[in-house]
Amino acid sequence: MKLWDIAHARTGDKGNISNISLIVHDLRDFALIEEKVTAEAVKNWYQDLVKGQVIRYELPQLGALNFVMYDALGGGVTSSTALDKHGKTLGAYLLEMPL
């Protein structure tokens, strides 16, 4: 099973900070992602891409985690030379994480 089977995600950017929401389709799966998808696991998942720290916020009533990833966007949308300057595609990659 991978995260995609039980959760969805949306990615946003502010400057050089990326944030990814991870939301379970069924609230009963929240405990599982809360346990498995730690800030540390996410930091390891993106390896060199996220140069700063990852902070996780929890919203159990919505079945949602919010990951804030610092120094993750090559300077951010107004300065990066990347194809996806906003890092909008990062969240879909998180859903590949095996559980």
Partner 1 sequence: MSKQIKSSIKIGSGAGYSGDRLDPALELMKRGDLDYICFEGLAERTIALAQKSKMADPSKGYNELLTYRMEQLLPLAHKNKIKVITNMGAANPSAAKMAVAGQAEKLRLKGLKIAAVLGDDIYGNIKTYMDLPILETGRPLASLKGKILSANAYLGYGGIVEALVNEADIIITGRVADPSIFLAPMVFEFGWNMNQIEKLGIGTLVGHLLECAGQVTGGYFADPGKKEVPELWNLGFPYVQIDRSGQGYVSKLDGTGGLVTRATCTEQLLYEIHDPRHYITPDCVADFSNVEFNEIEKDKVSFTGATAKQPTDTYKVSVGYRNGYLGEGQMSYGGTNGLQRALLAKEVVQKRLARLPFPIEELRFDLIGINALLDQGLPSGSPIEVRLRVAGKTGTAQQAQRLANEVETLYTNGPAGGGGASKNVEEIISIASILVPKKDIDISIEYLNI
Query: Which residues lie near partner 1 (CB under 8 A)?
Result: 4, 8-10, 12-17, 19, 21, 23, 25, 46, 49, 55, 57, 59, 61-64, 66, 68, 74-84, 89-90, 93
Q: Is 67 left (phi over 0), alpha (psi -120 to 50) or beta?
A: beta
Q: Which is nearer to partner 1, 33 or 76 (CB)?
A: 76
Q: What is the DSSP letter of 3?
A: G
Q: Which is nearer to partner 1, 4 or 29 (CB)?
A: 4
Q: Which is nearer to partner 1, 25 or 36 (CB)?
A: 25
CB of 40 to partner 1, least distance (A): 18
CB of 13 to partner 1, least distance (A): 7
CA distance 65 to 53: 16
CB of 84 to partner 1, least distance (A): 5
CA distance 97 to 79: 29
- Please state, as a whole number, how many other Cβ atoms lie within 10 Å of the Cβ of residue 62: 13
Residue type at 72? A
